[in-house]
Amino acid sequence: MIFSPYLRVTPKKGYTLLIMTLVSMIVFGVFAIRPSLVTVATLKKQVADLESVNESMKLKVQNLATAQTIYLENKPHLYLVDASMPDENVVPQFIQDISTKVALAGSSLEAIKVTKGGKNEDLLEYQISMSVACTYPQLTGILTFLEKSLLTSNVTSVSVRPHQKGAYSIQAEINVSLYQYEGN
């Protein structure tokens, strides 16, 4: 390739020098400056990502420290959570509790029926229907006992009618939803 005419004639010389400059700039830009800048950009992105991760980890460690403090403060009361929502079958304990309560109240637990319900948000529901022969004050006591029971439950309905036999004045059908934790 002969450059002489392009470098000798003034207008052509100007264009040639301009093209050479542009070509050089492009070559340097593409093969020298761009990789360097790409490297720096990559490293900067890596630093930003690591900073984000580091901040998250710091926050997590701080939260863990706070959680540990809260846990230690509340540890003496956590048995209540274990008792109210045990991860084992709660029905036997419930039946034992209500039988004891009914007996102590001087009432009579005539029938009890347990139906396993569905599971919702780690809570397995049991529907318990029981028939109790008692007096009205005894019924109030039983309902209050059920409401204040440590086990997580909800008395959904009570149906009362006069009792036909014995010393008890009423027959109460009590329906309870009992919940068991199945998270683990």
Partner 1 sequence: MKFFQKPNKIPNIASQGINLLPERTFEEQPTGEKIFIWLVGVGRVLIIVTEMTAILVWLSRFRLDYQITTLQENIEENAALVQSSARFEETFRDYQHRLLLADKVESERFPISLVTEKISSLIPQDIILSSLVVRQGEIGLSAQANRSLDFAKLLETLLSQSEITEVSLQDTHYNRDDNTYEFTLNLKTSEKFGL
Element holding 156 (H helix, E strand): strand 153-162
Site string for partner 1, 108-147 (x = CB under 8 A): -------------xxx------------x--xx--xx--x
Which is nearer to partner 1, 40 or 104 (by Cβ)? 40
The token pair at 163 is 């009792």
Instruction: With CA atoms as reference, report the closest residue to 109 among 133, 127, 82.
Output: 133
Element holding 64 (H helix, E strand): helix 34-74
Q: d(Cα 74, Cα 77) in Å, to the nearest integer?
A: 6
Site string for partner 1, 16-45 (x = CB under 8 A): -x--xx--xx--x---xx--xx-xx--xx-
Instruction: Identify any residues that bridge with 74 across adjacent strands, giving them in sequence order.
Output: none
Our finding on whether 57 is near partner 1 (CB under 8 A) is yes
Which is nearer to partner 1, 84 or 93 (by Cβ)? 84
CB of 165 to partner 1, least distance (A): 16
Among 89, 96, 100, 154, binds partner 1 (CB under 8 A): 154
